[in-house]
Amino acid sequence: MFNFCLMDKSLKNNHKPSVSQLVGFVKDSYLDRTSRPIYALAYLLFFLVVYEVGTIAFNPEILTRSLTETKVVVSFVWGQNLLKFLGFSERMTWIATPFAVVVILLALQMTSKTSWRVRFKDFGPMSIECILLAVPLIVLSLGFNRSISHAQQVSGNYQHSIVQTEVVSLSAEGFSRDGQETGESPLLVDIVTGIGAGIYEEFVFRLILICLLMLLFQDMIGISWQSSVILSVSIAAILFSVHHHIFFVNGQFQTGEPFTFSRFIFRTLAGVYFAIVFAIRGFGITAGSHVFYNIIAAVLNACILS
């Protein structure tokens, strides 16, 4: 379960089930409750629905077209590719992919042996917490954006952007970040794809990848817990950054956003930051923070540059 994927093996046997990987909170406190898998599921369910409905609303024919012919989040497409390999139809992958997230979170909740009770009044404070956790990345992005803009001006390839978004999406023209391909409002498209990217990128790179790497390094290879954590977080963060520039999807490698050292470093640091949030607050708050970062970035870019 993800609650313990970063926990020292020497502590597992004496550690009562808690709701976060590295920090124990007072039982049934806000921090304790909102780190549980059931809270992650309940809180993110609305965002999962918004991404599904919004994407289909922008492209009604999306259920019967090739994955390469419409704008969708790459990490979401990975799930679709896997399900298609397992025999699911094109249409069914749109239902089965988010359903897989639901099933995994339910399984984690069952193995956590924690309360299933959800207090919906916690969702407001959770949203505020996610927004506050997104702010440091916004500030960091603004700082990195200065060097990025300067490099683009020097090279004659200047692209207007105030805050770097974390949306990796696939469209008819290949890779796109700005949502300009559709006839819908670019801001609405960016918000919808930003929601999907926030959930599915955290699902792939934090919930799945970090836990698998910890199992590999600590349990299979026998590396110390501290080294396993450093290696797992670093590798996941680097791959998270790399996949904004090049990724394997639909059976082939595709290029993404033009590579710059500043962008690569920023997103690697963002990956480490999300890993720290994940280690302390669990999947729900981490994915929520990523979602709100993408939304805030999209709104700032649209408002300032309009």
Instruction: For residue range 112-147, list pLDDT tens digits in order.
Output: 889 999 999 999 999 999 999 999 999 888 887 765
CA separation (Å) from 143 to 147, 230, 270? 8, 26, 13
Give pLDDT, residue 189: 84
Higher-pLDDT residue of 239, 16: 239
For 34-87, what is each residue's pLDDT tens digit? 999 999 999 999 999 999 998 888 775 555 554 444 456 888 888 888 888 888
Predicted pLDDT at 69? 44
pLDDT per position as a tens digit, 182-198 = 445 788 888 998 999 99
28: helix, strand or coil: coil
pTM above 0.75, yes or no: yes
> How high is the pLDDT of residue 184?
57
Helix, strand, coil percentages, rounded to 5, for the chain: 70, 5, 25
What pLDDT is recorded for position 171? 44
What are the domain boundaries of the chain?
A: 23-113+122-305
Name beta bridge partners: 169.
Answer: 73, 176
Amino acid present at 192: V
Which residue carries 């930051």 as its tokens? 273
Model confidence over 199-220: pLDDT tens digits? 999 999 999 999 999 999 998 9
Give yes or no for residue 21 having a pLDDT over 60. no
222 exposure class (CB count in 10 Å sphere: 0-12, 13-18, 19+): exposed
Q: 203 with 108: CB under 8 angstroms?
A: no
